[in-house]
């Protein structure tokens, strides 16, 4: 519980604001993407930096706090999401993949996209309950 609070606080108040600012300035942080969900209570867009797990028309996320992550709860309430990888947004439909091995998925993401190495190490360090999320991207969903 204490580890999750520390990891969440660091992400919320230190790392995520910096990464979101870089993306707003048009400088994508290496190995990082932005996941946009719809707030389950507010209905407002919620943007969260995640490891850039793009693989063709699929985007993989390993949630370090599993179903305790706010964006995972948002996905469970409304699976339609957008993902910004690089300079482009793509729409898609997310789903929890409980049968996928999140540790193997992190290794696969790092092998496919070496720039994600620092992000995947951070996920492993700060994790409390790993969970894989699969986003099937719309083929014509660029914006």
CB-based burial label for 19 (10 Å; 0-12, 13-18, 19+): buried
Taking 70 as the threshold, does the pLDDT of residue 26 lie above it? yes
Phi/psi for 28 (5° steps) reads -60, 130
- Of residues 91 and 4, the one with the higher pLDDT is 91
Predicted confidence (pLDDT) at residue 123 exceeds the cutoff of 80: no
The Cα–Cα gap between 23 and 27 comes to 5
Which is more confidently placed, 119 or 98? 98
Q: Domains (ranges, CATH) in the chain?
A: 2-142 (2.30.110.10)
When comparing pLDDT for 2 and 106, which is higher?
Answer: 106
Q: How confident is the model at residue 72 (pLDDT cuts 50, 70, 90)?
A: very high
Query: Among candidates 91, 72, 69, 88, which has minimal Cα distance to 80?
Result: 91
When pLDDT is averaged across residues 117-129 and rounded to a whole number, the result is: 67
pLDDT reported for residue 27:
76
Taking only the tens place, the pLDDT of each residue in 129-139 is 899 999 999 98
Question: d(Cα 12, Cα 31) in Å, to the nearest integer?
Answer: 18
Catalogue the long-range contacts made by 112-118 (C-beta closer than 8 Å, 24 or more residues apart): 112/55, 113/31, 113/52, 113/53, 113/54, 115/30, 115/31, 115/52, 116/31, 116/32, 116/51, 116/52, 116/53, 117/31, 118/30, 118/31
Q: How deeply is 61 buried, as exposed, middle or buried, from its count of CB atoms within 10 A (0-12, 13-18, 19+)?
A: buried
């Amino acid at each position: 519980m204490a580890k999750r609070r520390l990891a969440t606080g660091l992400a919320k108040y230190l790392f995520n604001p910096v990464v979101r600012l870089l993306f707003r300035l048009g400088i994508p942080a290496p190995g990082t993407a932005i996941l946009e969900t719809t707030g389950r209570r507010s209905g407002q867009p919620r943007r969260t930096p995640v490891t850039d797990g793009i693989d063709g028309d699929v985007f993989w996320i390993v949630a370090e706090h599993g179903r305790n992550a706010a964006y995972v709860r948002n996905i469970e309430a409304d699976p339609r999401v957008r993902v910004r990888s690089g300079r482009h947004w793509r729409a898609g439909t997310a789903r929890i993949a409980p049968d996928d091995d999140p540790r193997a998925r992190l290794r696969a993401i790092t092998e496919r996209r070496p720039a994600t190495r620092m992000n995947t190490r951070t996920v492993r360090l700060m994790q409390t309950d790993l969970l894989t999320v699969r986003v099937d991207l719309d083929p014509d969903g660029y914006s």
